[in-house]
Amino acid sequence: MMDKIYSSAADWWLVALMVTPPVIMLAAGVTTKEIRWVMIGGGLFTTGLIAVLTLPCRYTLTKDALKIRGGILVNSTIPLTKIHNAEKTHNPLSAPALSINRVAIRGANGKLLTLISPKDRDAFIADLKSRLPER
């Protein structure tokens, strides 16, 4: 089976929530005189920080693992042998995801392993389940 990469879905309101503060800082920096460079620098720093913490956000299914990439901090691998189920959810818990339309990845006894938000949840779940070892 070939590797398949699924990009993250992105809720417009969540993106707006992340983008609004730096935009306000940049706008304030352009319109003020005394602290212009502080505001512009803060806006650019915040924009860069958000970008490196969230981009890229993607999920790769290989023949033996689910690889999750969420910015520079989240780079994890879950062996398919540890995954027992995957189901749609709207769980708002923190996760390497840009949408709350998520997939809950569960291990033995229904233990939540992670939450992710691939754009096409149905295709992702079907692909993942086809790769899981027989139980």
For the chain, what are the domain ranges? Answer: 4-10+60-131, 12-53
What does the pLDDT profile of the chain (135 residues) look like in tens digits?
799 999 999 999 999 999 999 999 999 888 888 889 999 999 999 999 999 999 999 999 999 999 999 999 999 999 999 999 999 999 988 888 889 999 999 999 999 999 999 999 999 999 999 999 987
What are the tokens at 131? 């790769």
In the block, which residue shows the tokens 């992670």? 114
Is the Cα torsion angle 61, 62, 65, 67 positive or negative in sign?
A: negative
| CATH number attached to the domain at 4-10+60-131 | 2.30.29
Average model confidence (pLDDT) for the chain? Answer: 94
Name the residue among 13, 5, 16 with its Cα closest to residue 116.
5
Hey, what long-range contacts does 42-51 have (CB within 8 A, 24 or more apart)? Answer: 46/21, 46/22, 47/22, 50/18, 50/19, 50/22
pTM for this one? 0.88
Q: Are 80 and 133 in contact (CB under 8 A)?
A: yes
- What is the largest distance, in Å, between two alpha-carbon atoms of the chain? 67
Beta bridge partners of 66: 61, 78
Each residue's pLDDT tens digit, 2-18: 999 999 999 999 999 99
